[in-house]
Amino acid sequence: MNNRVGTAQFVEIAAATQFQGPGALITDDYQKEITDILRRNSVLDGRIKYVPATGDISTYYEQNTVNGGEFVDPRNPSATATSNPRTPHGVKVKALTNQVNFGHYDVTLGQQQKNFAELKAKDLDDMLNGIGLAHGKALWRGNDTNLAVPTTLQYVGIPAQITNTFTVGVGASIVAAIRAKVAAMVGSEKYEVRPTGIYIHPIGHYHMTEEVRLAVESGKMSDPFGKTVVAGLEVPTIMTAAGLLPIIPEPFMPSSENKTTASNMDYGIAIVTESMLEYHYVGEKGMYLFELGTTGSLQEQYVGVKYGAPVAKGPSYAHAYGTIERPAIPTVG
């Protein structure tokens, strides 16, 4: 498979002939199904909660206190009036687009060769998949810094929204760090927090499972992992103060070179309450597909559009984001 775009040129038929013989002149053909296992979306997108946006800036209210309640003399009861303030929050709706053009000559030639329908369907699908890919990456890596007053056209990535953070040093236990952070969240007297999933960079996931394997084989601990099916995958679960939580490898989770040790990487990990991760959309949960008609250059134009933005509600208590410092392992591709 070649990802490069070549330059067309004239060739002699002999150069394209595979075999010549009595009653046979065989030239190159190709399989109609194109080899393609390219990634097109994130795991999180299949589990995030989609809700209609309330406006160009989608607004919701958050309550952070329950006031009142005091002990009094039962023979002389009295009470003081209280109120519970609610804070408004907003997220600006963003837009993603992609486009594909089909030239008239190529369309006509493809129809004559009986292969245009399949190629057109795939190209249209891939045009929309390009939007899904950009969307999936930006859920985690979007570079905007303000939800309501945008500084860029991208999303504010989920890690950038979460203010409850932690780090796992190169010699520290990943399993212990996860359990400690979940315990701290569940132990809150103010918020009734119940995390539901742990998203982790696949290489961070490897280091975590390797840590467990070595400890189990040395007899220092029993295997803490169970199994469950999440988003079409069988993944390990870990017992925490919030119960068994699935540990989900997420390829778009951020990673970066460690600032003090260049041979190490900081791999991202997010402990989330998935019911409080929302995608505020406009119009369609998915994407719009528009056919713009034939232009003056005799090209058919198709455009895809997606409107929306992610928001992590309760960023200081419902979720936690951390980094795991471990030796770097290069990814493939």
Q: Angle of helix 104-112 relative to helix 116-141, nearest 10 degrees?
A: 120
Cβ-proximal residues to 202 (8 Å cutoff; 6+ apart), any chain: 249, 250, 251, 253, 331
Decide the pairing of beta strands 264-272 and 255-257.
Answer: antiparallel
Q: What pTM, to 2 d.p., does this model score? A: 0.85
Question: What is the per-residue pLDDT for 104?
Answer: 84
The per-residue pLDDT string of the chain (333 residues; one tens digit each, 9 = 90 and over) reads 445 444 556 555 555 677 666 766 666 666 666 777 777 788 898 889 999 999 999 999 999 999 888 999 999 998 889 889 999 999 999 999 999 988 888 888 878 877 777 778 888 889 999 999 999 999 999 999 999 999 999 999 999 999 999 999 998 999 999 999 999 999 999 999 999 999 999 999 999 999 988 888 887 766 777 777 777 778 888 999 999 999 999 999 999 999 999 999 999 999 999 999 999 999 988 899 998 877 777 888 899 999 999 999 999 999 999 999 999 999 987
For residues 266 and 327, give the distance between their C-alpha atoms in angstroms, rounded to a whole number. Answer: 9
Q: Would you give the distance in Å from CA 3 to the centre of its chain? A: 24
Is the CB of residue 262 less than 8 Å from the CB of residue 325?
no
Q: Would you give the distance in Å from CA 53 to the centre of its chain? A: 20
For residues 59 and 87, give the distance between their C-alpha atoms in angstroms, rounded to a whole number. Answer: 10
Question: What is the per-residue pLDDT for 27?
Answer: 66
For residues 323 and 268, give the distance between their C-alpha atoms in angstroms, rounded to a whole number. Answer: 5
For residues 73 and 89, give the distance between their C-alpha atoms in angstroms, rounded to a whole number. Answer: 41
Residues in the chain: 333
